[in-house]
């Protein structure tokens, strides 16, 4: 029996979203795949925020949950929560690279969700590849060797 979504860890939720995205791509549901890629990227950002705040800085989980809701979306989580935490040169470089990818993912997601734009296969493949790089980069910086 499958574990209910609400009881899954963030890593399990991420893996579940990525599996769903793979099915959408196989069925040619390009716009939905882009939306799912953005969802997976946001879950990856949640993982990074939880690692930084709960695991490394020992902030209590309910407050971290509040911050994640307050930050609202991929861009908010990166700009309001993660960027201020990345203070070393190495972490700043990683953040800059990931922020550029996140912006591209978010822009395409917004075209689908807010403008009703229909994406084609090439656009979906590009965003899925960028999302994979983003997710593996951000999660991999906390969980060495993480791969989708």
Section 101-122 average pLDDT: 96
- Tokens for 130, please give them: 């960028």
Tell me what percent of the residues of the chain surpass a pLDDT of 70. 100
- Report if residue 6 sits inside a domain: no
76 in a structural domain: yes
Q: Is residue 106 part of a domain?
A: yes
Of 54-63, 90-99, 109-118, where does mean pLDDT reach its minimum? Answer: 90-99
What tokens appear for 4 in the block?
A: 């209910």
Within a domain: 48: yes
Whether 109 is covered by a domain: the verdict is yes
Does 148 map to a domain?
Answer: no
Q: Which segments of the chain does DSSP mark as H helices, in order? A: 10-26, 30-50, 61-71, 74-76, 89-115, 121-140
* Position 24 in a domain: yes
Predicted confidence (pLDDT) at residue 145 exceeds the cutoff of 80 = yes
How far, in Å, CA of 96 to CA of 129, rounded? 18
Q: How many domains does the chain have?
A: 1
Which pLDDT score, from 0 to 100, does residue 85 have?
A: 85
Kindly report the CATH number assigned to the domain that includes residue 91: 1.20.120
How high does pLDDT run on average in the chain? 94
Q: How confident is the model at residue 48 (pLDDT cuts 50, 70, 90)?
A: very high
**pLDDT score of 40:** 98
Question: What's the domain range around 39?
Answer: 12-140
pLDDT of 95 strictly over 90: no
**44 near 135, Cβ under 8 Å?**
yes
Lowest average pLDDT, out of 1-10, 67-76, 96-105, goes to 1-10
pTM of the entire predicted model: 0.93
Which long-range contacts does 110-119 make (Cβ < 8 Å, 24+ apart)?
Answer: 112/31, 112/34, 112/35, 113/35, 117/31, 118/30, 118/31, 119/30, 119/31, 119/33, 119/34
| Of the candidates 29, 45, 46, 17, the residue with the CA atom closest to the CA atom of residue 125 | 29
Q: Does residue 4 lie within any of the structural domains?
A: no
């Amino acid at each position: 029996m499958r574990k209910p979504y609400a009881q899954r860890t963030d890593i399990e939720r991420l893996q579940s979203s990525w599996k769903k995205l793979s099915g959408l791509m196989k069925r040619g549901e390009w716009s939905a795949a882009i939306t799912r890629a953005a969802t997976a990227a946001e879950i990856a950002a949640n993982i990074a925020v939880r690692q930084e705040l709960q695991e490394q800085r020992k902030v209590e989980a309910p407050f971290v949950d509040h911050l994640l809701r307050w930050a609202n979306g991929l861009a908010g989580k990166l700009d309001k929560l993660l960027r201020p935490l990345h203070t070393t040169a190495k972490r700043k470089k990683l953040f800059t690279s990931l922020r550029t990818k996140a912006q591209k993912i978010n822009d395409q997601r917004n075209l689908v969700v807010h403008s009703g734009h229909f994406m084609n296969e090439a656009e979906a493949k590009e965003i899925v590849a960028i999302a994979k790089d983003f997710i593996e980069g951000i999660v991999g910086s906390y969980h060495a060797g993480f791969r989708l």
